[in-house]
Amino acid sequence: MSTIIEHYQHEKGRLFVVGDIHGCYDELMQGLEQVNFDFQNDLLIAVGDLVDRGSDSLKCLNLIDEPWFKAILGNHEEMCVLSYGGDPVIQEMHAQHGGEWFYALSHEEQRDVVDQCLRLPIALEVSYQNKLYGFVHADIRYNHWDVFKQEILATGQQGRFCREAALWGRSRVRNRPPELFKNIKGIDAVFLGHTVVDLVTKKHNCYFIDTGAVFGMLLTLLEINPHHAVEQQVVVI
């Protein structure tokens, strides 16, 4: 993986974040039209899981080449990477969770997908209008952003634990154990997906926004505007 943490300064236009897309390309485009998204100036960030389950995984993954789009690594992108390594256990699990499209590709096409997935950081931080926003796919088990960044970059078991939690964990959204979690210092807000919620769910200064579009529920798209509460800016498609 080329980058574990990426920092980006967004200086013009609006800032949006979208929940797990899972191949729901048409729904995403409908949402962008609904908010009058400006492809020349606005920025959209996806919280991972661009692929699997839906009908347009490749179209969604190819969005990472667009200048108006940024994404982080989700556990489904990681399964593409691990499956390409030939692990039959991972391949079976991936196929059972919406990855059949990947195995219908040629070996060269699979390699291209893996290369795209490896370009995605595990964590993204964006500076916007004098605020700092974080984006992680699944979970963050530390109550300070700088500690999280330090641990996710660490070598050995501690670093692996932090990276696995960031891609697969559900502790904070489930509040287990409750005494462990508080507001995350050093960051204004963190946006996550992975765990399907009925509505955008706030846990401390973390917002879980995967509302299960691929399961016939809703795709959540929201504008991040420092002058308005996150809950007031949700658009569902």
Q: Is the pLDDT of residue 163 over 70?
A: yes
Q: Give mean pLDDT, residues 87-103.
A: 94
What integer pLDDT is reported at residue 204 of this predicted model? 94
Beta bridge partners of 192: 208
130-154: per-residue pLDDT in tens?
A: 999 999 999 999 999 999 999 999 9
Residue 194 pLDDT exceeds 80: yes
The pLDDT value given to residue 237:
64
- Is the pLDDT reported for residue 1 higher than 80? no
Q: Which residues are catalytic?
A: 76
Neighbour tally for 32: CB within 10 Å? 20
Helices 75-84 and 107-117 pack at an angle, to 10 degrees, of 140
Cβ pair 15, 223 in contact under 8 A = yes
Average pLDDT, the chain: 94
Question: What is the average pLDDT across 12-41?
Answer: 96
pLDDT band at 234 (very low <50, low <70, confident <90, very high): confident
Query: Which of the four CATH numbers 3.30.470.20, 3.10.310.40, 3.40.50.880, 3.60.21.10 does domain 5-236 have?
Result: 3.60.21.10
- Boundaries of every domain in the chain: 5-236
**Residue 55: is its pLDDT beyond 70?**
yes
> Distance (Å, rounded) from C-alpha 155 to C-alpha 97?
30
| Contact predicate 129/12, CB 8 Å | no
Task: Find where tokens 């990472």 sit.
Answer: 64
Q: Is the pLDDT of residue 165 over 90?
A: yes
Asked if 16 and 35 touch (Cβ cutoff 8 Å), the reply is yes
Instruction: Tell me the β-bridge partners of 132.
Output: 127
pLDDT of residue 31: 95
Q: pLDDT exceeding 70 applies to what percent of the chain?
A: 97
Query: What is the share, in percent, of the chain residues with pLDDT greater than 90?
Result: 86
